[in-house]
Amino acid sequence: MGSTPSFPRLSIPKDTISVVTGGNAGIGYHTAKWLAMMGGTVIIACRSEEKAKQAIQQMNEEFTEKQKKTPGIVDYERLNVEFMFLDCNSLKSVMNFVEAYKSSGRKLHKLICNAGIGLQDKLSYTEDGHEQIFQVNYLSQFLMVSHLLPVMKESGPDCRIVLVSSRAHERCSFDPVDIEGKKYSEPKYDTTELYGRSKLYQVMQMYRLNEILKDTNVTVLSLDPGIVKTPLLNTFKRGALKVLIPMLQSFGGTKSPFEGAWTTLNAAVNPELAGVRDVYFSDSKPKASTSTSKKKSHQRAVWDYTIDSLEAYLPDGVLQDLQ
Ligand SMILES: NC(=O)c1ccc[n+]([C@@H]2O[C@H](COP(=O)([O-])OP(=O)(O)OC[C@H]3O[C@@H](n4cnc5c(N)ncnc54)[C@H](OP(=O)(O)O)[C@@H]3O)[C@@H](O)[C@H]2O)c1
């Protein structure tokens, strides 16, 4: 993947704070590690404290003396990476995260919505009654963003929300009266369709949020990281992809998790993207998202459904900021 644009290595002040959801593994792990190696303070928001602590230890072990001599990388004794609990299967867990974050009094400069699940073998619902892929990949992180916007607005210039979507958003259908995809639930469960939709809604969220935030210091970008060798990719090895993905892997058509983090890192730190909105990146390069994702009436339908679904968790003050 030598021709894939990378990301600028630059020094990030220690008091620049990033939250990376799902920062304990895969693309999120490398995103968090590099944000910290460039000097920032990073909170990995994860559902397993044990996995998160192991990840932080591994990041520090990989942060070697040799790397510390690389331009753009800090020479701290230890990386500033911390764990906070977040389980996107539960809206209550999201609210606990939000409350804990707000009561820490910290600023927030980069919010990387990366946590996600891939294709599932069977239909599952969360404790909140939502189809699991819809909630984990989209709804829960929408709630987190909504509550953390006031913090970001008070955190100084060039604050960014990065929504890690997927090229899968290009291949799903859209139905404004069936946003959650009930048609693709029982008896004909279509997990590919539901995954694609969760990723489509993230791209739509970018467009709608940027409209709302246009006069503020907070910008929103979204992206496709490419085809990246992680456990999530393995869930796609079914149907025609069962053959295609291993073929791609053997011909070097897939990325390592580190390479998979480049597009996210570029969106989060590239100074040329300060103030830039509404760009969907693939391989660190701008790419047109689908016409479906750009259609305003579709965006509104998803937005309204989302707000209705989160009604119990969006007090008036937060709702006002979303209008
Ligand atoms: N890999 C690809 O080819 C590819 C392509 C396009 C887009 N993406 C997107 O890239 C993002 C990262 O995926 P990845 O490939 O790096 O997959 P991964 O290695 O499986 O990592 C997924 C991360 O999300 C976390 N997560 C899952 N469910 C969660 C929950 N309920 N609450 C909090 N965290 C949760 C996982 O935590 P646990 O370790 O606890 O499970 C893990 O940290 C996803 O949004 C995915 O849709 C990936």
- Per-residue pLDDT tens, the chain, 323 aa: give them: 445 679 999 999 999 999 999 999 999 999 999 999 999 999 999 999 999 999 999 999 999 877 878 888 999 999 999 999 999 999 999 999 999 999 999 999 999 999 999 999 999 999 999 999 999 999 999 999 999 999 999 999 999 999 999 999 999 999 999 999 988 887 889 999 999 999 999 999 999 999 999 999 999 999 999 999 999 998 988 776 776 777 777 666 789 999 999 999 999 999 999 999 999 999 889 999 999 999 999 999 999 999 999 999 999 999 999 98
Distance from residue 98's CA to the centre of ligand 1 (Å): 20
CB atoms within 10 A of CB 313: 16
User: CB under 6 Å to ligand 1: residues?
Assistant: 21-22, 24-28, 46-48, 51, 86-89, 114-117, 136, 164, 166, 224-225, 227-228, 230-233
Which domain-ending residue is among 215, 242, 260? 260
**Is 67 within a domain?**
no
91-104 vs 140-153: helix crossing angle, rounded to 10: 20
Residue type, 280: Y
Say if residues 224 and 282 touch (Cβ distance below 8 Å). Answer: yes
**Is 242 within a domain?**
yes
Distance from residue 18's CA to the centre of ligand 1 (Å): 17
- Check whether residue 165 and residue 304 sit in a common domain: yes
Please state the atom number of ligand 1 nearest to the C-alpha of residue 89: 31
What confidence score (pLDDT) does residue 240 get?
A: 66
What confidence score (pLDDT) does residue 251 get?
A: 67
Q: Tell me, what DSSP letter sits at residue 202?
A: H
- Check whether residue 123 and residue 190 sit in a common domain: yes
What confidence score (pLDDT) does residue 4 get?
A: 63
Which ranges constitute the DSSP H helices of the chain? 26-37, 49-62, 65-68, 91-104, 132-134, 140-153, 191-212, 231-234, 241-250, 257-260, 262-269, 291-294, 296-309, 316-321
What confidence score (pLDDT) does residue 2 get?
A: 43
Asked if the bond preceding 187 is cis, omega within 30° of 0, the reply is yes
- Check whether residue 276 and residue 203 sit in a common domain: yes
**Is 79 within a domain?**
no
**Is 26 within a domain?**
no
**Is 141 within a domain?**
yes
What confidence score (pLDDT) does residue 70 get?
A: 83
**Is 28 within a domain?**
no
Say if residues 160 and 109 touch (Cβ distance below 8 Å). Answer: yes
**Is 317 within a domain?**
yes
d(C-alpha 240, C-alpha 209), whole Å = 36
d(C-alpha 89, C-alpha 106), whole Å = 25
d(C-alpha 124, C-alpha 55), whole Å = 28
Which residues are catalytically annotated?
195
Question: How far is C-alpha 95 from the chain's CA centre?
Answer: 18
Three-class SS state of 135:
helix
- Check whether residue 179 and residue 129 sit in a common domain: yes
- Check whether residue 288 and residue 147 sit in a common domain: yes
Please state the atom number of ligand 1 nearest to the C-alpha of residue 168: 6
Distance from residue 252's CA to the centre of ligand 1 (Å): 21
d(C-alpha 323, C-alpha 319), whole Å = 7
d(C-alpha 168, C-alpha 183), whole Å = 19
Integer-rounded Cα radius of gyration of the chain: 19
What confidence score (pLDDT) does residue 1 get?
A: 40
Residue 24 to residues 29, 55, 68, 161, 309, Cα–Cα distance (Å): 5, 5, 22, 19, 28
For ligand 1, atom 19: residue with the closest CA: 26
For ligand 1, atom 37: residue with the closest CA: 22
Give the CATH number for residue 305. 3.40.50.720
Please state the φ and ψ torsions of residue 77, each to the nearest 5 degrees: -65, -50
- Check whether residue 239 and residue 306 sit in a common domain: no
Q: How many helices (H) and strands (E) does the chain have?
A: 14, 8
- Check whether residue 164 and residue 127 sit in a common domain: yes
- Check whether residue 93 and residue 120 sit in a common domain: yes
**Is 66 within a domain?**
no
Distance from residue 51's CA to the centre of ligand 1 (Å): 13
Please state the atom number of ligand 1 nearest to the C-alpha of residue 195: 47
Domain with 305 in it: 86-225+264-321
Distance from residue 55's CA to the centre of ligand 1 (Å): 14
For ligand 1, atom 36: residue with the closest CA: 22
The whole model's pTM is what? 0.96
Pocket test for ligand 1, best of 20, 27, 43, 125 (most atoms within 8 A of CB): 27
- Check whether residue 245 and residue 190 sit in a common domain: no
- Check whether residue 188 and residue 122 sit in a common domain: yes
Q: How many domains does the chain have?
A: 2
Residue 203 to residues 160, 161, 197, Cα–Cα distance (Å): 15, 12, 10
- Check whether residue 114 and residue 236 sit in a common domain: no
Structure tokens at 234: 């393995």
